[in-house]
């Protein structure tokens, strides 16, 4: 495979600047509502803020990859004297917790940088973060040509098969196709 130029988008989280206002959760869930902006439910947001005011912990975390596997071990982080929960920094939609799952269907959620092309100059959560805790950077890199990655629908079907089994998913699709 050859090399290709690629725009790499990244968001740096400056946790010390986060004040836990949750504006990022609000705009992300509203943007991804159907129809767009028709509702706002933080449980549907692809960024979630770990908030523990009594311990002065405010940690924005982006939804990452789906995984069907639970961790076999957990990590504990202590940074600047603050002890974070074992799953605090993890971005996965996984069976161990409800985070990053669409609340009605249970399908995994993942940050899409606002559907690959943000409506403004920056991803919406970055634009709405007045505290500048989220810093957006774009850079060009030469990378190996990527193999096709599974799309959102494929990841969603995989998660349904993990939960209900292939036969039940096939039976349901066949029943829906007939109705």
**Nearest distance, CB of residue 96 and ligand SF4, angstroms:** 21
Euclidean distance between the first and the last CA atom of the chain, given in angstroms as a whole number: 45
> Looking at 57, 61, 62, 94, which residue binds ligand SF4 (CB under 6 A)?
62
**Nearest distance, CB of residue 141 and ligand SF4, angstroms:** 19
Number of residues counted as binding ligand SF4 (CB under 6 A):
26
- Written as six digits, the tokens of 60 are 């924005």
**Nearest distance, CB of residue 150 and ligand SF4, angstroms:** 18
> Can you tell me the distance from the alpha carbon of 82 to that of 46, in angstroms, rounded to the nearest whole number?
25
Task: Give all strands (DSSP E) within the chain, no chain letters.
Answer: 3-13, 47-52, 57-62, 77-79, 82-84, 134-144
String of contacts with ligand SF4 for each residue 118-147, x by CB under 6 A: -----xxx--xx-x-xx-------------
> Looking at 92, 100, 111, 159, which residue binds ligand SF4 (CB under 6 A)?
111
Whether 114 contacts 162, CB under 8 Å: no
Residue 113 touches ligand SF4, criterion: CB under 6 A: yes
């Amino acid at each position: 495979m050859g090399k290709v130029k690629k725009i790499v988008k990244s968001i740096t989280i400056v946790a010390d600047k986060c004040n836990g206002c949750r504006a990022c959760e609000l705009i992300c869930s509203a943007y991804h509502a159907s129809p767009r902006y028709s509702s706002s439910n933080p449980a549907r947001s692809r960024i979630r803020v770990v908030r523990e005011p009594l311990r002065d912990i405010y940690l924005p975390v982006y939804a990452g990859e789906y995984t069907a596997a639970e961790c076999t071990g957990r990590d504990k982080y202590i940074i600047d004297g603050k002890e974070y929960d074992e799953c605090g920094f993890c971005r996965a939609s996984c069976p161990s917790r409800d985070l990053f799952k669409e609340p009605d269907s249970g399908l995994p959620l993942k940050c899409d940088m606002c559907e690959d092309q943000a409506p403004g100059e920056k991803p919406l959560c970055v634009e709405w973060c007045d505290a500048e805790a989220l810093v957006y950077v774009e850079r060009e890199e030469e990378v190996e040509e990527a193999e096709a990655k599974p799309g959102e629908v494929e990841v969603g079907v995989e998660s349904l098969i993990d939960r209900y089994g292939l036969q039940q998913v096939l039976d349901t699709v066949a029943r829906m196709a007939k109705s």
